[in-house]
Amino acid sequence: MTTATPVREAAPDAAAVPPGARRWTRWWPAAALAVLVVVPYSAMPLPGLLDGPIGSAGSLQLLALCLVFGALATGYDLLLGRTGLLSFGHALYFAAGSYLTNAFMTEAGLPFVPSVVLGLLSGTALAALLGSVSLRVSGIAFSMVTLAFAQAGSLLVERDPGGVTGGEEGRAIPADALPSSLTGIGNTANLYWIALAYLVVTLAVVQWAVRSPTGRVWEGIKENERRVEVLGLRPYGFKLVAFVLAGALAAAGGVVHLLLTGGATPQTTTSDFTLSLLVMVVLGGSGSRWGPLIGGVAYTWADQRLGDLAGSGAVAGLPSVLRVPLSQPLFLLGTLFVIAVYVLPGGMARLPHRVRTARTRAVASRRPPDEVGKAGADGATRTG
């Protein structure tokens, strides 16, 4: 006699996704990219989100910064979310791309394109050199070594050796050192498209790397590095690849940021800048495809807009017990971050999944008990 084995009931409403929905899921990134490409031609206002029309110079500047930091957070997640490496020195390679490209143009007198190429190569070489040293240790020791390198770079920039970095004031780019298509308010759209191109390239590179055989080893290192060693693989080489690739993407972001802001700034060399990247990744969802991008965009927008709110007349007219904390943008950002971590565990990218799960549970709770029992009995009969 065959023993009837109960069959696990399928989740309620677990019907196949309609073909139209599957096609939309596959092609929505292309649709989003098309929308982003034509943004500079739009005059539609977004009150509360932007100060002026979408296509205005100020709005495009803010949107370009959001795209840059969204891409930067995506590249940083190669270390944190994909390989399990907590680096506190990622800002160093972003600053290297910015400062070295600026130095090649202003000090060496090189044309724009060769300066950009040399800036990217130098930032990548720096990541390879410091990564080869930092990765000799692991865990907290690795984090501390990367922090030490970042602090050394920050001190070097502040000391302004030979007047190259500009010290605490930073170093602006002379207008005649850049192509005419990248200078002036009228060409803000060109800078926006460069930022968008940087985002697309970063997403493509990260997605290709994660899906490659090396990316699968990164996942194994994150889960259990000792097991990877038992399989006969050397984690050091794979971690160095992730470190150098993330550093190269950061250096490219530094070049784009240099063009957007018109100069290299010392704020990009501090460990606080890397901590901001960490917040972006955690806020959006570490280890997910779109999470770091979402977190970087949301954090950058909030940083800019909350700064304006903190200095507004509405806050200035409040009682001191409210005015003092609300006039500090970092307080507002910190409060929003804490709320997001508690309300959205796993990051903003997991919000749709959490909504679907809650909806499924709600539907299951409304089903009559006799239907659930009948479905289980039918499954047992079919397998008997």
pLDDT along the chain (384 residues), means of 10: 41 45 68 90 85 89 95 95 93 95 92 95 96 94 94 91 86 87 89 96 95 94 91 93 96 95 88 86 89 92 77 68 68 76 79 77 71 51 48
Distance CA(47)–CA(16), nearest Å, equals 39
Inter-residue contact 9 to 375 (CB < 8 Å): yes
- Tell me, what's the pLDDT at 13? 40
Distance CA(197)–CA(220), nearest Å, equals 31
When computed from its CA atoms, the radius of gyration of the chain, rounded to whole angstroms, is 25
CA atoms within 13 A of residue 306's CA, in its CB half-sphere: 18
- Tell me, what's the pLDDT at 329? 66
Angle at 322 between CA 318 and CA 323, to 5 degrees: 60
- Tell me, what's the pLDDT at 316? 67
Distance CA(280)–CA(295), nearest Å, equals 5
Q: Is 87 left (phi over 0), alpha (psi -120 to 50) or beta?
A: beta
Distance CA(61)–CA(195), nearest Å, equals 10
- Tell me, what's the pLDDT at 322? 67
